[in-house]
């Protein structure tokens, strides 16, 4: 237990430190390159956490998903298309990952939610920007994040942690798109986009690691906590 704490908790604490503090410094006069690194560090340390806690292929995949998110966070400060591409790559990797962990039985309401989530999210995202020339691209991007959220929701990972975390990620992106239209002058996106996104990622990473660590412990009959 002491070894587990020593090798993993510092990365979670560093993630929380950078992820939470970024919200308070994002509009400051900190030089761009330092602020960009600060922004990426929150999710970047989640990538390291996954790699350290899961000494197998799954850890590398989850670490890769988080690393692509961190790259997307930083790239958005430089180029929107580059940042979106990094996030889309992460979503596609996450979709492939969740497909390996399907939940065998789903309640009717859960099936309906997952089925409706994707087309409804894409339609909302497409309708939001005032610049209609951007609507198609936004719709395509939203398809990837909505599909990721639906796959997370229907996976056998904790719905109250991984599923909700993925939905928070999706809502954060929809608020970004709303900033291009009806919420252009509203403070709501400024207040909610980063917290929803960061804590969504935090819930996803820790939820996946907790589940897989528990399964590894059960397989070896050695009670280890994530």
Q: Specify the pLDDT at position 55.
A: 80
Whether the per-residue pLDDT at 41 is higher than 50: the answer is yes
Q: How far apart are CA 121 and CA 142, in angstroms?
A: 7
Whether the per-residue pLDDT at 226 is higher than 90: the answer is no
Whether the per-residue pLDDT at 4 is higher than 70: the answer is no
Token output for 64: 């890769």
Please classify residue 119 by burial: count the beta carbons closer than 10 Å to its beta carbon, then call 0-12 exposed, 13-18 middle and 19+ buried: exposed
Q: Specify the pLDDT at position 29.
A: 87
Provide the mean pLDDT of the chain: 91
CA 128 to each of CA 24, 125, 142, 174: distance values in angstroms, whole numbers, following the listed order: 27, 5, 12, 8
User: What proportion of the chain, given as a percentage, has pLDDT over 90?
Assistant: 81
């Amino acid at each position: 237990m002491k070894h587990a704490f020593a090798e993993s908790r510092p990365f979670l604490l560093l993630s929380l430190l950078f992820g939470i503090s970024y919200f308070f410094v994002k509009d400051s006069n900190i030089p761009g390159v330092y602020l960009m690194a600060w922004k990426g560090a929150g999710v970047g340390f989640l990538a390291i956490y996954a790699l350290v806690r899961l000494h197998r292929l799954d850890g590398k995949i989850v670490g890769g998903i988080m690393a692509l998110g961190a790259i997307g966070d930083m790239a958005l400060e430089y180029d929107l298309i580059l940042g979106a591409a990094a996030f889309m790559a992460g979503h596609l990797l996450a979709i492939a990952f969740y497909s390996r962990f399907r939940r065998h039985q789903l309640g009717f309401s859960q099936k309906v939610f997952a089925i409706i989530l994707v087309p409804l999210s894409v339609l909302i995202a497409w309708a939001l920007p005032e610049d209609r020339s951007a609507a198609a691209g936004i719709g395509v991007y939203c398809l990837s994040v909505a599909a990721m959220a639906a796959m997370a929701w229907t996976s056998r990972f904790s719905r109250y942690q991984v599923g909700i975390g993925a939905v928070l990620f999706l809502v954060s992106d929809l608020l970004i798109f709303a900033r291009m239209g009806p919420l252009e002058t509203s403070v709501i996106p400024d207040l909610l986009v980063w917290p929803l996104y960061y804590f969504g990622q935090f819930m996803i990473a820790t939820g996946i690691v907790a589940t897989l660590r528990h399964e590894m412990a059960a397989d070896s009959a050695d009670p280890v906590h994530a």
